Amino acid sequence: MTRLVKLTLCFYVVLCALSTKADDNQVPLTKLGTKTGPSLKFFYCYSCGYRKVFEEYVGILRQKYPELQIDGENYNPSSNIMLIAKLICFAKISLIVLIVSGFNFGQPLPSLWQWCMDNRFYSCMMIFFIFNAIEGQLISSGAFEIHFNDVPVWSKLETGRIPQPLELFQIIDTHLNWQYADVDIG
């Protein structure tokens, strides 16, 4: 195979890898098969290290509210930011493939490209780390959002901080009282 065919095949594989998208919006067949009690949903920034905070909160909340359904997932930034991050990832992989393959543009090489060809390992490592840092900054949202029965009850993006456990207990108690205020126990 010629070098151009190999390069085209590499770009096609990269495009296919970037275009695969998981279907996270699947709807359950019945609502009865899903959660039936009150639920608490956390959306946290995984790259900021908030998963550990989420896990600690789950442990605390399960002790006080065993009936509460608690879920958590990564908070994804807007689709535009994600698209930019994917484009940066594509550019990173493309540059590394071009450098490793020794692609020659058929013209006198610019001094930067010539340096990359002369120092392939070092230039690929630099590209990898610099582009990863940029991607990380783009997808790092700093979010720690909490929803009670799909109603937002706390937003770190708005308040600038994570709630203290006592604050979270008060929020949950308030929402549980509202939810069960109409229920006549006697």
Summarised one tens digit per residue, pLDDT across range 40-62 is 999 998 888 899 999 999 999 99
Record the tokens describing residue 57, joined without a space.
């909160």
pTM: 0.61
Mean pLDDT for all residues in the chain: 82
Are residues 86 and 116 located together in one domain of the fold? yes
Cα angle value 23/69/182 (rounded, 5°): 120
Burial class of residue 45 (count of CB atoms within 10 Å of its CB; 0-12, 13-18, 19+): buried
pLDDT of residue 183: 54
pLDDT of residue 76: 84
Burial class of residue 169 (count of CB atoms within 10 Å of its CB; 0-12, 13-18, 19+): middle
Are residues 90 and 131 located together in one domain of the fold? yes
pLDDT of residue 46: 85
**CATH number of the domain residue 61 falls in:** 3.40.30.10
Instruction: Return the amino acid letter for 124.
Output: C
Range of the domain at 112: 81-140
Record the tokens describing residue 115, joined without a space.
């340096």
Q: What is the mean pLDDT of residues 6-23?
A: 61
Q: What is the total count of domains within the chain?
A: 2
Q: pLDDT band at 30, cuts 50/70/90?
A: very low
pLDDT of residue 20: 53
Are residues 94 and 135 located together in one domain of the fold? yes
Is 32 inside any structural domain?
no
Picking from 183, 146, 181, 160, the residue whose alpha carbon sits closest to that of residue 68 is: 146
Three-state secondary-structure class, residue 153: strand
